[in-house]
Amino acid sequence: MSSKEVGSDSAKACYEPFGVSGYAVAFRLTRSEPIDNKMLKEMSGNLMMRITARCIERGAKFIGHIKSYMKTKDGYLKADTIGLNKGAYVESSITEPVSQAYLVINSIVQGIDKSQVKIATLEASNEVLLNYGFNIEIEKEHEYFDKFDIPIQPKGEESKLKQEKSK
């Protein structure tokens, strides 16, 4: 296998020849009224299952994984699934209500191309996040996930989040 220039249109993820496609997106989320951990966990589980359902509706044969990581000033929340019949796993360290968050979603599926994975992920994200009262801003996105992953925390956010937490 020959190497390709990173960022060129001809560069492919190592799993694309096997019918596996991926999409990743990072959102900045804001909400006028804070939401508690219980509702965030419910939302995240619903989000995982909705993305999975949307991918299957578009023809996905296998869910490699759908996962998310949310960072807030108070902690983190992570969620993932490997299919509708498996449910969603959600874990959180958040203890205080949230009105701002940074959310990364990574969808890897087999059987549909990356444009369909992107559409399914964004449609489901809009449905679920808006339903829970969040305003959504896309900060960054990738059509596949490999060594060029989206960082869990945006650049410069560590000090900002620590400052907000200490208030």
Sign of CA dihedral 153, 154, 159, 163: negative
What would the two tokens of residue 5 be? 């220039």
The string of DSSP letters for 77-107 reads EEEEES-GGG--EEEE---S-EEEEEEEEEE
Name the CATH topology of 17-146.
Alpha-Beta Plaits (3.30.70)
Q: Coil, strand or helix: which one is 91?
A: strand
Q: Where are the domains of the chain?
A: 17-146
Query: What amino acid occupies position 119?
Result: I
| Measured distance CA(112)–CA(142) in Å, rounded | 16
- Of 41, 50, 80, the closest CA to residue 64 belongs to 80
3-state secondary structure of 48: helix
Question: pLDDT truncated to tens, each residue of the chain (167 aa)?
Answer: 333 333 334 455 556 667 788 899 999 999 999 999 999 999 999 999 999 999 999 999 999 899 999 999 999 999 999 989 989 999 999 999 999 999 999 999 999 988 999 999 999 999 999 999 999 999 998 776 454 444 555 555 554 444 445 55
Give the predicted TM-score (pTM) of the model. 0.79
Nearest by Cα to 78 from 54, 94, 64: 94
| Measured distance CA(17)–CA(160) in Å, rounded | 41
